[in-house]
Structures are given as structure tokens and as C-alpha cells.
Chains A and B, each alone.
Chain A
Amino acid sequence: MAAIRTPVQVALNRTAIAAVLVITLIFLAPIYWIASTAFKPRNLATTIPPTVIFEPELSPFAKLFTKRSQLREAPTPEEYAAAPWWERLVFDGGEKVVRSGRGEIQLSAYPNRFLNSLIVAITSTVLAVGMGTFTAYGFSRFKVKGEQDLLFFILSTRMLPPVVVAIPMFLMYRAVGLNDTHWGLILLYTAFNLSFSVWLMKGFIDEIPREYEEAALVDGYTRMEAFFKIVLPEAATGIAATAVFCFITAWNEYAFALIMTNRRAQTAPPFIPSQVGSGLPDWTVIAAGTFLFLLPVAIFTFLLRNHLLRGMSFGAIRK
């Protein structure tokens, strides 16, 4: 923008800054509402007017992780005193934690779904970034016949609507027994992220001067040694950024997970909405599950902030 001189321009500039702050608050409000609902007692989650100031408590999390049933009669004082803090929170909400015959607490499905999300997202990220880095190097450094067409083909696989791919994949997986398995989802997410990782990594590797490897080759390195000892360390930041993007995509994915899994390998995105069901859902528990699920992505977004532009544009726009 041109240098600001007149009082009118100064005023306009101040108005713009104020507007930016207001817009930022509006954009963050839904996320704030999720986070605050996750720490509310159940009776304050759906009040009119909305409850903004309250004493935060951990009962939504205690309920999130445990299997509960309605409390028929109030716990005896001894029972209450003997219970750990999180169990008391469940008692306070008029419910009790289900225990097995031997007194072991029964977990809800949430920890399992969260773990499934972790297994699937991490494994598919490692595979996609690993393969993608090799392939990107191949495209970046060597002459490949029909390079543009191959790169278009690679990118186009990511553009397919998930439901379109899911119909035949569902049939094929059913035939080979990959439905509702971790590996089934891992392979799908690897394929989905592979195209992205090739495009993004190619941009990062293109920026590493060829002279580095050529100097190493003159020094007697083989091409493989030059790749592992010179190129990979230089590309480390790019690899990390690509990995975080792949992780977030796999972590957030919904359609494939909904279609390909239902229990054993189900990830958190199809599981959390399934908890709303009918009737009056306990929004504090859903918010607690959502909060924990969003937390890693929120942290990663801050770590990635300087690479977001590049990642979101498949490496086409750099800064």
C-alpha cells in the first residue's frame, strides 16, 4: 500500500485494523465455543442466555473416557469417598461408571477410536512422505518421459471425489478382507496423500541446488549416497512440513472412514458425530471429544504457519 499521509488515510487504516480484530474474533468464536463447552457442567451447555462465565470442570472428560449408566440410587458416602476424583465427577452428574465383575472400570469407545486415528494417520503419513520424497527427487533431477502428463496423473488422483473411489474400493476390500481394518484405511490414505506429497516435495527439492550433489558425485559419492547424505538433510524442513500436512489430512478424513470402517478400525471423525444420535445429546462430552481431537491439529497449524501457503497450493505458490 502507498505511504499513508492524510488524516483520512490514517483513520481508514485504523478502521481496517479494528475490522480485522473483530473478524478474527468472529472466526475464532466457534472454536472457543467448542473449547469452553468441553469444560462446562452439563446443565450449562445449552442455556439461554448462553453461559460464558462458569467454573470450569473436568467432568466432560471423565464421562468421555468411561462407559456410564444411569445412577438408580445415590452412592453411599463410603462408596463416594472411596471413588477416585473422576468417578466422583460422574456420580455428580447422576451417572455411574460401569465396572466389570472384578471391579475394573469399563472404557468408552472413544480412547480406542482416538488410538485408531493415531495409528492410521501416522502410518499413512510415513508411507506417503517416504515414497513421495523418492518420487519427487526422481522427477526433480532426472529426465522423465511425459513428465507433465505423469505429474498431472498423480495430482488428478487426489482430485477424485472420495465417494466415487470408495464404491469400488469397498467392493475390492470386501473381497480381500480389508474392510474395517487399519491397513485398509492406511493404504487408502497413503494413496490419497502420496500425490500431494510428490507435488509438494518436488517444489522443495527443486530449490536445493544441484551443485551440492554434483560436488558430492565428483568426490566419489554414488548417486544414492548423495541423495541420502546431501539431499535428504537439506530437504528436512520440507519433509517435516509435508508430513504435517499429510498427517492433518489423514487425521481429519471422514468419507472413506465412514464407508470403510464401522467398529474395529473406526477413526474419530465418523465416531464423534455418531455419538449425537437422537434425543438430547450431552454436548459437553461431544465437546470434550472434539476438543482433544482438534488439539493436535491446532498445535500443528502454529508449527506450520510459514508453510501453509505452499502446502495449500500444492507447492505452486512459494514464499
Chain B
Amino acid sequence: MATTTMTTLDPQSRAARRGMSDIAIRNLFIIPTILFLIVFNIFPLLYSLGYSFTDFRASTNAPANFVGLQNYRELLADPYIWNNFTVTAKYVIVSVAGQVFVGFGVAMLLNRSIPFKGLITTLLLLPMMLSMAVVGLFWKLLYDPSWGVINYLLGLGDFEWLGDPDVALYAVAITDIWMWSPFVMLLSLAGLSAVPKHLYEAAAIDRAGPIYTFFRITLPLVLPILMIAIIFRTMEAFKTFDLAYILSTQPTTEVISIRLYKMAFQEWQTGRSCALAYIVLIMVLGVTNIYVKYLNKVKER
């Protein structure tokens, strides 16, 4: 007996003797990825942090002069920049609210036995998988005032969707809602299907009305997953660039990413754009932090 126990080695130390040790494998597997991400994400950010304190212009050979906090001071005092943030906020609210309304609504409708449910769900998910830039471009044709299908079907005559500065932002948001409602729907469906059936049965026995059942059973149980969808979409809508840039040239749709792009690559105010990038970055990291905390919370369930 004693000898067999002696020879049954701990598998880990036995592997360590022949091949690489677990510690070595762990480091070999993890460290290259971390280094790669540092080189491609952290290093560039440090690089641009440096430039954000200068008047550098990438279009000239003039050396960069250190200007201290001047870029940040001017940006934060610039009413045009604040207007870009207002436009972005409006866009985020309209498009995320629309996505939650449509996405959750469709999920409620889908959450029953329907013939070909799998196929229908997959077809509904198609828009979000496609390229925003390329499909967004096609909405230009759909929105066209003279021969657009949308005006024809809705009988709107020659209504200007993208040409009218007051409407353009909503037009871009509608396209975004079309693309991303499926995402909210997908997550909501997962939440809805996880609600235990016996709760509804109990509610039915108690003769609870549909509104009471929705607000006291369905919504509270789906809310954690729905919140993930909302935070994620908020973050993405805040960063939005492709759709608004392709669909519209109106100043009323100039979200912050577009301003940043123009400042950096059309006006070549490199130093200033680096400072603006940092202001945006800090905002995004704040929301990312909330998002990841939520993800981990849902994961633990």
C-alpha cells in the first residue's frame, strides 16, 4: 500500500519534470498577448498624451512646441465642441431609446411558440452583422427625397430626410435603430426565456393582470440583461462614426467622433485633436468600467 501511494505522483509535478512547467506555460500563453495590446493600445495613447500638450501639426515639418494645458483649456471653453457633445448626447438618447423600445418589444412578441422561430430570429439579427458603413450608404438611396422608397411607401412626397438639418440626426438614428434593435432583442430574448415559467403560472392563479405581471415579474427579471444591452449600446452610440459620417454632412449630425476625425485628418490640428481624444477617452473609460462591473455581475449568476 505504502509503495503505491509513493509512486502516485502529483500530475502537475510529473508534467513539470518532462515538459515545461505550468508557470512557464502560463507566462508563454499570457504575456505575448498583454505585450501586444500594450504596444497597440497603451503605447499609442501615451504617445498622443504627449502630443496633446503641444501645437503639433502632422501636415507640416514644424517642430512641436509645448503649450501646456492650452489645448484642453481652449477645447473645454469652445462652444462648438460643446455643441458636438450635445449632438452626440441627443443621438445617443434617441437611438438607444429607439433600440430598447423596438428590440424589447419584438423580443416580447417573439417570446412564444411561433412556427419557424429560429429562422425568423436569425433573419431579424441579420442587420446588426452587416457593415455599418456599406449598408448605411444604401440608406442614402432609401432616404432620397425624389426616388427614395421610404418617401414613396409612407407617402411623404419629397420630404428631406438627410437634407433638412433638423431631421438629419433622426434619420441617422433611425438607421442605427434598424441596425441595432436586433442586438437588444437578442439579449432581451435570453432574459425573457430565463424567467421561470412557474412564476407566470402562479400569477395567473392569483388572477394578476398582464400589466401587473409585466412590471412585477417580467421586467425585474429581465432588467439585468437589458441593462447590459443598454450600457453597451450607449457606449457604442457615443463612439459612433461610420453611419453619421457616411449618411450626412449636416453640422447638426456632427457627433464628437466626426469632429475628432476632421480636426485630426482634415484640419491637421494634431496636438489639439490628441487633447480632444483624451477628453473622449476618459468619458468612454468611465462607462466601460460600469459595463464590465455589470458583465461580471451577470456572469456570476
Taking CB atoms and an 8 Å cut-off, the chain B residues in 133-189 that contact chain A are 133-135, 137-142, 144, 146-147, 149, 152, 178, 182-183, 186-187, 189
Q: When each residue 123-145 of chain A gets 1 if its CB lies under 8 Å from chain B and 0 otherwise, what string results?
A: 00000000110110111011010
Q: Judging by beta carbons under 8 Å apart, are B134 and A312 in contact?
A: no
In the complex where A134-B29, A152-B292, A251-B131 touch, is A46 in contact with B299 (Cβ < 8 A)? Answer: no
A49–chain B nearest beta-carbon distance, Å = 6
Q: Judging by beta carbons under 8 Å apart, are A254 and B37 in contact?
A: no
Taking CB atoms and an 8 Å cut-off, the chain A residues in 162-181 that contact chain B are 162-172, 174
Taking CB atoms and an 8 Å cut-off, the chain A residues in 226-269 that contact chain B are 226-227, 248, 251-252, 254-255, 259, 268-269
Q: Is B69 interfacial (CB 8 A cutoff)? A: no
Which residues from chain B contact A248 at a C-beta distance below 8 Å? 129
Which residues from chain A contact B274 at a C-beta distance below 8 Å? 167-168
Q: Judging by beta carbons under 8 Å apart, are A198 and B299 in contact?
A: no
Q: Judging by beta carbons under 8 Å apart, are B187 and A144 in contact?
A: no
Q: Judging by beta carbons under 8 Å apart, are A48 and B147 in contact?
A: yes
Q: Is B223 interfacial (CB 8 A cutoff)? A: no
Q: How far is the CA of A288 from the CA of B115 in the complex (A)?
A: 33
Q: Judging by beta carbons under 8 Å apart, are B12 and A217 in contact?
A: yes
Taking CB atoms and an 8 Å cut-off, the chain B residues in 88-144 that contact chain A are 106, 109-112, 114-115, 118, 120-135, 137-142, 144
B256–chain A nearest beta-carbon distance, Å = 9
Which residues from chain B contact A31 at a C-beta distance below 8 Å? 126-127, 130, 135
* Residue of A whose beta carbon sits closest to that of B125: A308
Q: How far is the CA of A148 from the CA of B299 in the complex (A)?
A: 13
Q: Judging by beta carbons under 8 Å apart, are B135 and A20 in contact?
A: no
Q: Is B87 interfacial (CB 8 A cutoff)? A: no
SS of B interface (majority)? helix
Q: Judging by beta carbons under 8 Å apart, are B134 and A137 in contact?
A: no
Q: How far is the CA of A136 from the CA of B83 in the complex (A)?
A: 42
Q: Is B75 interfacial (CB 8 A cutoff)? A: no
Q: How far is the CA of A140 from the CA of B23 in the complex (A)?
A: 13
Partner of A17, one of B11, B14, B114: B114
Q: Judging by beta carbons under 8 Å apart, are A161 and B33 in contact?
A: no
Which residues from chain A contact B131 at a C-beta distance below 8 Å? 251-252, 254, 269, 293-294, 297
Q: Judging by beta carbons under 8 Å apart, are B125 and A301 in contact?
A: yes
Q: Judging by beta carbons under 8 Å apart, are A28 and B281 in contact?
A: no
SS of A interface (majority)? helix
Which residues from chain A contact B221 at a C-beta distance below 8 Å? none
Q: How far is the CA of A309 from the CA of B135 in the complex (A)?
A: 22
Taking CB atoms and an 8 Å cut-off, the chain B residues in 10-35 that contact chain A are 11-12, 14-15, 18-20, 22-23, 25-26, 28-30, 32-34
Partner of B288, one of A139, A150, A156, A313: A156
Partner of B265, one of A33, A214, A218, A259: A259
Q: Judging by beta carbons under 8 Å apart, are A168 and B280 in contact?
A: no
* Residue of A whose beta carbon sits closest to that of B47: A168
In the complex where A144-B26, A297-B130 touch, is A276 in contact with B112 (Cβ < 8 A)? Answer: no
Q: When each residue 76-116 of chain A gets 1 if its CB lies under 8 Å from chain B and 0 otherwise, what string results?
A: 00000000000000000000000000000000000000000
Number of chain B residues close to chain A: CB under 8 A: 104
Which residues from chain B contact A317 at a C-beta distance below 8 Å? 187, 190, 225, 228, 298
Number of chain A residues close to chain B: CB under 8 A: 107
- Scoring A19, A47, A49, A168 by chain B CB atoms within 10 A of each residue's CB, the highest score goes to A168
Q: Judging by beta carbons under 8 Å apart, are B14 and A294 in contact?
A: no
Q: Is B246 interfacial (CB 8 A cutoff)? A: yes
A221–chain B nearest beta-carbon distance, Å = 7
Q: Judging by beta carbons under 8 Å apart, are A313 and B187 in contact?
A: yes
Q: Is B84 interfacial (CB 8 A cutoff)? A: no
Q: How far is the CA of A154 from the CA of B37 in the complex (A)?
A: 7
Q: How far is the CA of A269 from the CA of B246 in the complex (A)?
A: 11
Q: Is A71 interfacial (CB 8 A cutoff)? A: no
Q: Judging by beta carbons under 8 Å apart, are A168 and B51 in contact?
A: yes
Q: Judging by beta carbons under 8 Å apart, are A30 and B126 in contact?
A: no
Known: A27-B124, A139-B30, A152-B292. 14 other contacts (CB 8 A): A24-B124, A33-B141, A137-B29, A154-B34, A169-B40, A191-B37, A224-B20, A252-B130, A254-B132, A254-B241, A298-B130, A305-B125, A312-B128, A317-B298
- Could you list 26 examples of A-B contacts with CB < 8 Å? A1-B197, A17-B112, A17-B114, A20-B110, A23-B109, A46-B144, A48-B147, A135-B29, A137-B29, A138-B25, A142-B23, A153-B37, A155-B288, A161-B284, A163-B241, A163-B261, A168-B44, A172-B43, A191-B36, A194-B33, A224-B19, A268-B134, A269-B134, A313-B187, A316-B228, A316-B298
